[in-house]
Structure 1
């Protein structure tokens, strides 16, 4: 790789520790070249004129707001993609938000850079963010002003305030998420899958919950996407699989009825070439028979069909079951059933809601159940909340259901109370 194929990076920081960390991180990828280090804005401009870097990193911990001053000078005189290095303090977050308003393209927690020296996942994540910033170029993070009752200025202020709240929230989640496993902040809750005709629990879907002492309860809809972006989903996903298998084995050893536990796989997990090996190791470690583990995938995986088929084939060889979650919500449902070794179809709750009064939903659900029977697939209707929905599903020949009608997701002790009654 020649010099012209490399990305030049300029660091604006007076911290020796930060300089050494950044040097070490960029040495991990030959595509980057640290072309200079500056302690303030004017020195940065001089370096930029001389070295023409593709990316600038600015340390927000520079004294007397020199980091913001450097950013402003760069944006005014030589606009270049900029990542600001943020601190986890309230002041650091405020400075980062101000920097984003001035034109910084992205941010990165300084604490994570230090961790990156010892954790390969963080190094690759940081370098990917740098490459993405260079590729995206200089662009504002706040939307242009829109008309709001004829007041464009008010609309812009409201939009900026909203984006500041979202950015601050994302920064906080990303920072604390990295410590969540070490601090044992995650837990699993379980929702029963019930056989309609006997009302017996035949399986459980485990769901991840996160309670942080600073942020409180953070919903999965917020933190899962950030975990995927940051690469943390692999570590978190492995914990979920191990915890679910361990708990299931504990229930069986306690004499409770053996049943499957379902675990959702994210897109990033599914794309991991080590997935089947990881699951095999966890099954061996926990002693759980593979038939009692079910893996749920969704259409949002967005993976190459051939690679997905190979991965699912490897998982099937282990003896685990594969379920298609949220069936019917995308455009690939039928293709997935045709191309992949699926054992179970889970009809999305959006088709079940108010089923008895929705003619279109009734036709769709009835068709799905009939099709699944012809394909020898098990069917679970998700999101069942009322007696009327249950009776409609019974009439269509659906055998298994899941939803608040029987139970919301509950903690381990409540599941044990349910299962005791089945002995």
Structure 2
């Protein structure tokens, strides 16, 4: 569109609702300008030659596969970045993307856009996806190449198909994830932290699980990253914090021994300036004493130690405890112990596995324990699975452990049985 820092957007759709939604959304971004709305591919080509838009949004739910026809016409005659708006992806759409080697086309779920008009997160995410599509250009329309060991080879035709399937799954997961809390599909499981000198459970780490009727059990490694990218992590993270605090308070009222519950923080949560206020409100709402809440961070969250220290300082003022998870896996572990107000380190399970047979791991773990003692920090060894590993840790003076040797992460009812038996 030849406007400095501004991009033209053409919409192909006959749905008045879709047209209205897109028009409303584009008005929220000064960089994206609506150049026109057309109903089919031939009209789109005319507008593209006349207005030279930078991006085309195609409603794939057009009748008689007109959306797919429009996509094919555009890519055959005037390749341009395209975002397909759809509630379903047809086999024909996937085949088209495969033929184009996927580079110029992105998906976005229409239901997300319509529902997202009442929330800033979805709209911001969609607008960013539009700009990313424009910036990526149409490099993928033509046969892709890859440098392998000093020479150039063509990518395999199957790569775009798998990419399109993966993107469709990602989009569908995001749509369902937005409803997961209201539909009570999310749950917490708990893994005990045990004092090996007494075999008493002193705390529990809560872990998030999602069981969806359509997808089944979705791995956290898959849906947590989607939650972070889409901005859903704030709502989900707040739910986790509230659920964990409520559950811990229930256990205390039921007469179980006091213990901490540990909650993992993501980077997005950690960088949210409202985090300390949110946690303070949850603690007040649930009545849980702050000393029984522990927040787990990883050193990857703490790129800027000064800012991280400020954020952690606000959390510490609430009276809760901070633990550094996966300790030892990064290059900055020692520096973070010096700069950040942490109370505990959790030795990563990669150092514990086969501890009794690995001389290097044994030296590392022994050094970590000695250093933590000098710094007056608590230590938990993660991933303990065998009696032999437990014995080595006991000899090194490690007091607290977590792992399958004692229990895998289990649901509330099983944890309660375990706690009542030990109480």
Pairwise TM-score range, normalised by the shorter structure: over 0.9
Using a 3 Å threshold, how does the CA distance of structure 1 residues 319 and 97 change in structure 2: closer, same or farther?
farther
Deviations 1:51-110 (A, max 9, x none): 2222211111122222222223322333222111121x4xx2545534543344311100
Within the alignment, does 1:183 sit opposite 2:180 as a pair? no
Using a 3 Å threshold, how does the CA distance of structure 1 residues 32 and 162 change in structure 2: closer, same or farther?
closer
**Matching residue of 1:329:** 329
CA distance in 2, matches of 1:157, 1:3: 36
Aligned length in residues: 414
CA distance in 2, matches of 1:160, 1:140: 9
**Matching residue of 1:126:** 126
On the 8 A contact 1:259/1:292 being kept in 2, the answer is yes
Using a 3 Å threshold, how does the CA distance of structure 1 residues 9 and 303 change in structure 2: closer, same or farther?
farther
CA distance in 2, matches of 1:182, 1:96: 32
**Matching residue of 1:116:** 116
Counting helix residues as a fraction of each chain, which structure ranks higher?
A: 1
**Matching residue of 2:74:** 74
- Residue 164 of structure 1: CA displacement? 4.4
CA distance in 2, matches of 1:338, 1:15: 59
On the 8 A contact 2:97/2:160 being kept in 1, the answer is no
**Matching residue of 2:200:** 200
CA distance in 2, matches of 1:303, 1:288: 31
On the 8 A contact 2:194/2:401 being kept in 1, the answer is yes
| Pairing of 1:101-250 with structure 2 (within 5 A) | 101=98, 102=100, 103=102, 104-140=104-140, 144=145, 156-250=156-250
On the 8 A contact 1:324/1:346 being kept in 2, the answer is yes
Q: Secondary structure at the match of 2:211?
A: strand
CA distance in 2, matches of 1:375, 1:139: 53
Q: Which moved more, 1:126-135 or 1:379-388?
A: 126-135
Within the alignment, does 1:97 sit opposite 2:94 as a pair? yes
- Residue 161 of structure 1: CA displacement? 4.8
On the 8 A contact 1:97/1:167 being kept in 2, the answer is no
CA distance in 2, matches of 1:16, 1:99: 26
Q: Secondary structure at the match of 1:206?
A: strand
On the 8 A contact 1:93/1:168 being kept in 2, the answer is no
- Residue 139 of structure 1: CA displacement? 3.4
| Pairing of 1:261-276 with structure 2 (within 5 A) | 261-276=261-276
Q: Which moved more, 1:156-165 or 1:298-307?
A: 156-165
Within the alignment, does 1:43 sit opposite 2:43 as a pair? yes
- Residue 197 of structure 1: CA displacement? 0.8
Deviations 1:312-371 (A, max 9, x none): 111011111111111111222122212111111001111100110011111111111111
Gaps of 5+ in 1: none
Q: Secondary structure at the match of 2:255?
A: coil
TM-score by length of 2: 0.92
On the 8 A contact 1:60/1:95 being kept in 2, the answer is no
On the 8 A contact 1:145/1:156 being kept in 2, the answer is no
Gaps of 5+ in 2: none
CA distance in 2, matches of 1:412, 1:324: 25
Deviations 1:147-197 (A, max 9, x none): 9xxxx99x8244345434433432332221121111110000000000111
**Matching residue of 1:65:** 65
TM-score by length of 1: 0.92
| Pairing of 1:355-374 with structure 2 (within 5 A) | 355-374=355-374
**Matching residue of 2:17:** 17
On the 8 A contact 1:186/1:209 being kept in 2, the answer is yes
Root mean square deviation of aligned Cα: 2.1
On the 8 A contact 2:97/2:161 being kept in 1, the answer is no
- Residue 247 of structure 1: CA displacement? 0.3
Q: Which moved more, 1:170-179 or 1:22-31?
A: 170-179
On the 8 A contact 1:84/1:96 being kept in 2, the answer is no
Q: Secondary structure at the match of 1:249?
A: helix
Using a 3 Å threshold, how does the CA distance of structure 1 residues 146 and 215 change in structure 2: closer, same or farther?
farther
CA distance in 1, matches of 2:90, 2:320: 45
Using a 3 Å threshold, how does the CA distance of structure 1 residues 94 and 246 change in structure 2: closer, same or farther?
farther
| Runs of 4+, deviation exceeding 6 Å | none
Within the alignment, does 1:85 sit opposite 2:82 as a pair? no
CA distance in 2, matches of 1:285, 1:94: 50
- Residue 288 of structure 1: CA displacement? 0.6
- Residue 303 of structure 1: CA displacement? 3.7
- Residue 292 of structure 1: CA displacement? 0.6
CA distance in 1, matches of 2:394, 2:226: 39
On the 8 A contact 1:84/1:99 being kept in 2, the answer is no
